A and B are shown apart, each in its own frame.
Chain A
Amino acid sequence: MQFRFKLMAGAVAFALSASMAIAADPIKIGVSGPFTGGSSSMGVSMRDGVRLAAAEINKSGGVLGRQIQLVERDEEAKNERGVQVAQELINKEKVVATVGYINTGVALASQRFYQDAKIPVFNNVATGTVITDQFKPPQYPDNYVFRNAAKDSIQAPMIVEEAITRRGFKKPAILADSTNYGQLGREDLEKALKAKGITPVAVEKFNIKDVDMTAQLLKAKQAGADVILTYGIGPELAQIANGMGKLGWKLPIVGSWTLAMANYIDNSGANGEGARMPQTFIQEPNTPKRKAFIDAYVAMFKPKNNRIDSAVSAAQGYDSIYLLAAAIKQAGSTDGPKVRAALEDLKTPVEGVVTTYDRPFTHDDHDAITANIPVFGEVKGGRVVYAYDSDLKAGSKVREKAGATASK
Chain B
Amino acid sequence: MTILIQLVYSGIALGMIYAVIAFGYQLTFATSGTLNFGQGEALMLGALVGLTLVDTLGLNYWLMIPIVCLFGLVQGAFVERIGVKPALRIKSEFGWIMSTIALGIIFKNVAENLWGRDDLKFPSPLPEAPINLLGANVLPMELLVVVGALLMMAAVEFFNRRSIYGKAVVATANDRDAAGLMGINTSLVITFSYALSSMAAAFAGVLVAPLTLTGATMGAVLGLKAFAVAIIGGLSSGMGVLVGGVILGVAETTTAFYISTGYKDVPGLVLLLLVLAVKPAGLFGKTAIKKV
> Which of A63-71, A100-108, A214-222, A358-366 is found at the contact surface with chain B?
A214-222
The reply to whether A219 and B261 contact each other, CB–CB distance below 8 Å, is yes
Once A36-B116, A40-B116, A267-B119 are accepted as A-B contacts, the answer to whether A215 and B261 lie under 8 Å apart by CB is yes
| Closest CB pairs A-B (n = 4) | A215-B256, A214-B10, A211-B212, A215-B257
In the bound complex, do residue A40 and residue B261 qualify as a contact, i.e. CB atoms below 8 Å apart? Answer: no
**A335 interface hit (Cβ, 8 Å):** no
B213 at the A/B interface (Cβ < 8 Å)?
A: yes
- Is B117's CB under 8 angstroms from A40's CB? yes
Complex alpha-carbon distance, A3 and B113, angstroms:
9
Out of B120, B218, B264, name the residue touching A215 (CB < 8 Å).
B264
Residues A266 and B256 in contact, CB atoms below 8 Å apart: no
A211 CA to B213 CA, complexed, in Å: 8
Task: Quote the shortest CB–CB distance from A326 to chain B (angstroms).
Answer: 34
Known: A214-B7, A215-B261. A263 touches B118 (CB 8 A): yes
The reply to whether B3 and A3 contact each other, CB–CB distance below 8 Å, is no
Interface residues of B in 91-115 (CB under 8 A from A): 112-114
B117 engages A218 (CB within 8 Å) = no
Q: Tell me whether A247 and B257 are in contact in the complex, defined as CB-CB below 8 angstroms, given that A205-B262, A218-B3 are known contacts.
A: no
The verdict on A23 contacting chain B, using a C-beta distance below 8 Å, is no
Q: How far is the CA of A204 from the CA of B257 in the complex (A)?
A: 10
Q: Please name 25 pairs of A and B residues whose Cβ atoms are closer than 8 Å in the assembled complex, sorted by A.
A: A1-B113, A4-B113, A37-B117, A38-B119, A178-B262, A205-B261, A206-B261, A207-B264, A211-B14, A211-B17, A211-B213, A214-B7, A215-B256, A218-B3, A218-B7, A219-B261, A222-B3, A235-B119, A238-B213, A245-B130, A246-B137, A247-B137, A269-B121, A269-B128, A270-B128
A393 touches B (CB below 8 Å): no
CB distance from B240 to the nearest CB of A (A): 22
The verdict on A215 contacting B253 (CB below 8 Å), with A205-B262, A246-B137, A247-B6 known, is yes
- Contact between chains at A219 and B113 (CB < 8 Å): no
Chain B residues with CB under 8 A of A212 = 10, 13-14, 252-253
Check B118 against A214 for contact (C-beta < 8 Å): no
| Known contacts A209-B217, A212-B14; is-contact A246 B261 (Cβ 8 Å) | no
In B206-226, the 8 Å CB interface with A consists of: 211-213, 215, 217-218, 220-221
> Across the interface, do B121 and A266 meet the contact criterion of CB distance under 8 Å?
yes
Counting CB contacts under 8 A, is A248 at the interface? Answer: yes
Set B17, B139, B256: member contacting A216, Cβ < 8 A: B256
Within 8 A of B (CB), among A180-208: 204-207
What is the CB-to-nearest-CB distance from A106 to chain B, in angstroms, rounded to a whole number?
16
Q: A215-B257, A238-B213 are in contact. Are A248 and B137 (CB under 8 A)?
A: yes
Is A41 an interface residue when CB atoms closer than 8 A count as contact? yes
Contact A41 B261 (CB under 8 A): no
Give the residue name and chain of the B residue nearest to A34 (CB).
B117
- Specify which chain A residues have a CB less than 8 angstroms from the CB of B132 in the assembled complex: 248
Of residues 121 through 159 on chain B, the ones whose CB sits less than 8 Å from some CB of chain A are 121, 128, 130, 132, 137-139
Complex: A380 Cα to B112 Cα, angstroms = 30
Find residues 34-58 in chain A having any chain B CB closer than 8 Å to their own CB.
Answer: 36-38, 40-41
Q: Which residues of A contact B260 (CB under 8 A)?
A: 205
Give, as a whole number of angstroms, the nearest-CB distance from A238 to chain B.
7
Dominant secondary structure of chain A at its interface with chain B: helix
CB atoms of B118 and A40 under 8 A apart: yes
Instruction: Name the distance in Å between A68's Cβ and chain B's nearest Cβ.
Output: 28
Question: Chain A CB within 10 Å — which of B113, B119, B120, B253 has the most?
Answer: B119
C-alpha gap A207/B262 in the complex (Å) = 8
Residues of B contacting A266 in the complex (Cβ-Cβ under 8 angstroms): 120-121
How far is B216's CA from A235's CA once the two chains are assembled, in angstroms? 13
The 8 A CB mask of A215-258 against B (1 = contact, 0 = none) is 11011001000000000001100110000011110000000000
- Chain A residues, CB < 8 A from B252: 212, 215
Scoring A40, A209, A218, A246 by chain B CB atoms within 10 A of each residue's CB, the highest score goes to A246
Bound together, the chains give a CA A219 to CA B215 distance in angstroms of 29
Which residues in chain B, 254-292, are within 8 Å of chain A measured between CB atoms?
A: 254-257, 260-262, 264-265
Residues 27-44 of B, flagged 1 when their CB comes within 8 A of A and 0 if not, give 000000000000000000
Kindly state the separation between the CA atoms of A41 and B138 in the bound complex, as whole angstroms. Answer: 31
Alpha-carbon gap, A37 to B212, bound state (A): 16
Contact B261 A204 (CB under 8 A): yes
Provide the bound-state CA to CA distance between A399 and B17, in Å: 50
Please name all residues of chain A whose beta carbon is closer than 8 Å to the beta carbon of B218 when the two chains form the complex.
209
**Nearest-CB residue, chain B, relative to A235:** B119
- Residues from chain B with a CB closer than 8 A to the CB of A40 are 116-118
Complex CA distance for A7 and B6, rounded to whole angstroms: 48
Given A205-B260, A215-B7, 5 other A-B residues pairs in contact with their CB atoms under 8 A: A36-B117, A204-B261, A216-B256, A245-B130, A246-B130
Q: Which of A5-29 contact B (CB under 8 A)?
A: none
Which among A40, A178, A210 has the highest number of chain B CB atoms within 10 Å?
Answer: A210
CA distance A215 to B119 in the complex (A): 22
Q: In angstroms, how far is the closest chain A Cβ from the Cβ of B219?
A: 10
Q: Do B261 and A247 have beta carbons less than 8 Å apart? A: no
Identity of the chain B residue whose Cβ is nearest the Cβ of A214 in the assembled complex? B10
Question: Shortest CB–CB separation between residue B2 and chain A, in angstroms?
Answer: 9
Contact call A219/B257, Cβ cutoff below 8 A: yes
Give CA–CA (A236, B11) in the complex, Å: 18
Report whether B261 and A214 are in contact in the complex, using a CB–CB cutoff of 8 Å: no
CA distance A267 to B212 in the complex (A): 10
Interface residues of B in 1-33 (CB under 8 A from A): 3, 6-7, 10, 13-14, 17
CB–CB A248/B130 < 8 A: yes
- Distance in angstroms from B266 CB to nearest chain A CB is 12
The smallest beta-carbon distance between B108 and chain A, in angstroms, is 12
Q: Cα distance A247–B131 when bound, in Å?
A: 9
B263: nearest chain-A partner, CB-CB:
A205
Per the bound structure, the CA–CA distance linking A269 and B124 in Å amounts to 11
Are B256 and A36 within 8 A (Cβ)? no
